[in-house]
Amino acid sequence: MASIRFDRVTKKFGEFTAVSDLDLEMGDGEFICLLGPSGCGKTTTLRMIAGLETPTSGRVHIGERDVTFMHPKDRRISMVFQDYALYPHMNLADNIAYPLKVRGESETKRHARAREVADVLKIGHLLERMPSQISGGQQQRTSLARALVYPSDVYLFDEPLSNLDAKLRLEARGFLNHLQRDMGMTAVYVTHDQAEAMALATRIAVMDAGKVVQYAPPLEVYRRPATTFVANFVGNPPMNLLPVEAMVADGNVQLKAEGLSAAPLPVSRAAARALDGNTKLTLGVRPEHLTIARGGEENTISGALFANENMGPETLVTLERDDAARFTARIFTDESLALRGTVKLGFASEHVHLFDPGGTRLPMDHESA
Amino acid sequence: MRSFSLLSRSAGAAFLTPAGLLIGAFVIAPFFWVIYVSFTNRTLLGRTAMNPDFVGFANYFSLFDAASFFTRGEFGFSLILTVQFVLLSALAGQAALGMLLAWMLQSVPKSLKRLTEAVVIAAWILPEVVVAFAWFAFLDYENGTLNMIMDALGLPPGDWLLSFPFWVIVVFNTWRGTAFSMMLFNSAFSSIPPSYFQAADVAGATSWQKFRDIGLPLIRGHVVTDLILITMWTFNVFTPFLLTSGGPSYRTEILPIYTYRVAFRDFEFGKGAAVGVIVMLINLVFALFYLWVTRRRAKGVAA
């Protein structure tokens, strides 16, 4: 096991900058998720740890070793590929044991070890099969087994669950979580699925356009998204974002927007300073923090009912205002089913997020710092 | 499955007729004519030119005459020479070298790969005569490029075509045909998902291990196809004639050249035709084997 450090790493493909001036530290035993939309540079970052790409500038360290230009085979890493990369001409036992074969282990030894790992992953009964004869979920576990069969400093995952259907993905995610708790491996995991990142990571690096926008534990990313981009990316459905007018008076900020009735909001001194002159802000509220207003809420927002989607445990209620902006709430009571016409939703001030015109989050009064 | 035709039967037949007539006149008829001639003592001049006698298997017996079979300039000598030529220039030369080059091309930058492919193709599309003449100039004793290089390196010049005629045609045919194998193996390697090799890289495999365990097994079908094709081509190649004319003293007289000499230099049509028939039979074996392999592969894919 080892830590990983990126030191001002830039990677360009021709004119295109995939990763730009990246500084990132990943601790020993951490499970880091690189989260972002396609083209954000997360896979390139992972492949630079693996040695499948070489940085244009900057250095990459694994533990104390500078591995920037080291061949993948010398890095003591394991990797699970998106397409599993199982060898179609080898049975599962040979696939899993292949890393041991290249290390010169005897056939008896490596097959014994392959069986051991396969049993842990519940594919021990399939070892004689060929990859084409097993299901996608089993293929995924086979490629996982091949990564686990030999000791590595770092385990790398390149969207390993994205080729599975929804049900299998949940199952595999739970299993990975269990494995991480069991082994305490250092892992870097690339995904575009925020739920995977939330469920697995000790820290999430949210990436956008080649840069890390926020690097924090999952709950921190969820509770205090650094920018509107993060707020929009993490959470399902994403955070509601609404342009508002803001006026600062007596250490309070008063928000104004169509359909919005907001209590004066105490803001931190730092935020008040930052607010100076900024009258246009973005208000953010998570769908799960909205309730149907019964009167007495600190803040309310109203609009015409646009959609009312029953999900079973909850209902997704979407409102549309006159300016076509939409607002979604997750309502956990059945009353939402009877909603008609104009609807008023309420939310507590402690659940308000404010972002400056550049999209950066403003610290609130009730939060330290 | 219903088959749809673009043309009526009679129109189709009309289109096929000219080609059919040409193939009939210049391929099929000579095929049977050669078989017939191989059983006669037909020659170009003299009494047997107009009225050849039917001699049964005499021509074949003379080819396999144990007393002279291995003598230089005889059929057996030529056959063994051809087998050596195929083993060295086609299998060890073209296929092995082509494989090595194709494998090396997998790990070079794309631009260099493209450039190499372009150069190799360019060399491949040169007409045979031009290539042969270029080699002739390359190997010339007085002004040849090779001897100039030897001279520059302080090594004694060689009269290559006289001293090592067999090795000259082996190297020549290797040089000539490696491009095909390289391109075939190259495209076969390119069809393997890159993640297979990356996974092996990460797992710690060396280039040789990746080749042995992943690259080669996954293109095995292409390799078999390539080996059969180049064996067949090399077995029938006539171009070395342009370099050595089969000499000196029959030392480079591979079967196609031997056939040509017997039939069109010595004007023993009957004997030449007999050689032709034997070569045809050998080719038939190759062709049937090739068809069998490709059919089996097609079935394997479907299953």
In tens, the pLDDT along B36-86 reads 888 887 777 777 767 777 777 777 877 777 777 777 777 888 888 888 888
Cα–Cα dist A102/A366, whole Å: 57
- C-alpha distances (whole Å) from A229 to each of A80, A232, A239 are 28, 5, 10
**Interface ipTM above 0.85:** no
Domain ranges of chain A: 4-232, 240-362
List the one residue out of B209, B210, B244, B219 whose CA is nearest residue B95. Answer: B219
Confidence of residue A157 (pLDDT cuts 50, 70, 90): very high
* A285 close to A346: Cβ distance less than 8 angstroms: no
Instruction: Please tell me the distance in Å from A74's CA to the nearest CA on chain B.
Output: 7
Cα–Cα dist A42/A162, whole Å: 15
pLDDT of residue B2: 56
- C-alpha distances (whole Å) from A111 to each of A171, A182, A325, B163 are 27, 23, 60, 56
Cα–Cα dist A81/A140, whole Å: 9
Structure token pair of residue A12: 């360009």
Torsion of CA A122, A125, A130, A131, to 10 degrees: -10
- At the topology level, CATH places domain A240-362 in OB fold (Dihydrolipoamide Acetyltransferase, E2P) (2.40.50)
* Model pTM score: 0.79
> A122: alpha, beta or left, given left = phi > 0 and alpha = psi -120 to 50?
left
Cα–Cα dist B93/B95, whole Å: 6
* DSSP structure string for B64-75: T-TTTTTSTTSH
Amino acid at the residue B76: G
- Helix (H, G, I), strand (E, B), or coil: what is residue B155? coil
Structure token pair of residue A64: 């104390």
User: Is B204's Cβ below 8 Å from some Cβ in A?
Assistant: yes
Task: Kindly give the pairing relationship between strand A65-66 and strand A203-208.
Answer: unpaired
Cα–Cα dist B253/B77, whole Å: 9
Contact A102 B198 (CB under 8 A): no
Strand partners, A249: A252
The residue of A48, A76, A87, A159 whose CB has the most chain B CBs within 10 angstroms, and thus the best one to mutate to test that interface, is A87
* A210 close to A48: Cβ distance less than 8 angstroms: no
User: Is B196's Cβ below 8 Å from some Cβ in A?
Assistant: yes
Residues across chain B: 303
pLDDT values of chain B reduced to their tens digit, one per residue, 303 residues: 456 677 788 888 898 999 999 999 998 998 888 888 888 877 777 777 677 777 777 778 777 777 777 777 778 888 888 888 888 988 888 889 999 989 988 888 888 888 888 887 887 788 888 888 888 888 887 888 888 888 888 777 777 777 788 888 888 888 888 888 998 999 999 899 999 999 999 988 888 999 999 999 898 888 888 888 888 888 888 888 887 877 787 788 888 888 888 778 777 787 888 888 888 888 888 888 888 887 877 665 543
Contact A50 B198 (CB under 8 A): yes
* Per-residue pLDDT tens digits for A174-215: 888 888 888 888 899 999 999 999 999 999 999 998 899 999
List the one residue out of A39, A37, A41, A45 whose CA is nearest residue A232. Answer: A37
Residue A156, pLDDT > 90, answer yes
pLDDT of residue B254: 85
Of residues A163 and A230, the one with the higher pLDDT is A230
* Per-residue pLDDT tens digits for A251-283: 788 888 888 888 888 777 767 776 776 678 899
The residue of A44, A86, A102 whose CB has the most chain B CBs within 10 angstroms, and thus the best one to mutate to test that interface, is A102
pLDDT of residue A365: 63
Cα–Cα dist A232/A221, whole Å: 11
User: Is B223's Cβ below 8 Å from some Cβ in A?
Assistant: no
List the one residue out of A178, A356, A331, A197 whose CA is nearest residue A270. Answer: A356
> A120: alpha, beta or left, given left = phi > 0 and alpha = psi -120 to 50?
alpha
Cα–Cα dist B34/A204, whole Å: 80
What residue ranges define each of the domains in chain B, with the CATH number in brackets? Answer: 73-302 (1.10.3720.10)
- Helix (H, G, I), strand (E, B), or coil: what is residue A188? strand
- Helix (H, G, I), strand (E, B), or coil: what is residue A154? strand
- C-alpha distances (whole Å) from B102 to each of A35, A324, B105 are 38, 59, 5
* A17 close to A43: Cβ distance less than 8 angstroms: no
Contact A146 B203 (CB under 8 A): yes
Of residues A311 and A368, the one with the higher pLDDT is A311
- Residue in the structure block whose two tokens are 């494998």: B103
The average pLDDT across A300-329 equals 88
pLDDT of residue A207: 93
The helices-and-strands tally (H runs, E runs) of chain A is 9, 22
How many Cβ atoms are within 10 Å of B31's Cβ, its own excluded? 13
Q: To the nearest whole number, what is the mean pLDDT of chain A? A: 87
Q: A-chain residues within 8 Å CB-CB of B209?
A: 101-102
* DSSP structure string for A201-233: -SEEEEEETTEEEEEE-HHHHHHS-SBHHHHHH
List the one residue out of B137, B241, B226, B118 whose CA is nearest residue B180. Answer: B226
pLDDT of residue A369: 41
Structure token pair of residue A67: 């591995």
Q: Find the CB nearest A102 among B193, B198, B205.
A: B205
Q: In CATH, what class is A4-232?
A: alpha beta
Strand order in the sheet with A203-208: A77-80, A154-158, A187-191, A31-35, A203-208, A211-216
Q: Find the CB nearest B203 among A51, A52, A98.
A: A98
- Residue in the structure block whose two tokens are 């790409």: A53
Residue A26, pLDDT > 60, answer yes
Structure token pair of residue B93: 């030369």
User: Is B193's Cβ below 8 Å from some Cβ in A?
Assistant: yes
List the one residue out of A302, A357, A297, A290 whose CA is nearest residue A330. Answer: A290
> Chain B: residue nearest A52 by CA?
B198
Instruction: Please tell me the distance in Å from B194's CA to the nearest CA on chain A.
Output: 9
Contact A98 B206 (CB under 8 A): no
Cα–Cα dist A12/A21, whole Å: 11
Structure token pair of residue A216: 């924090």
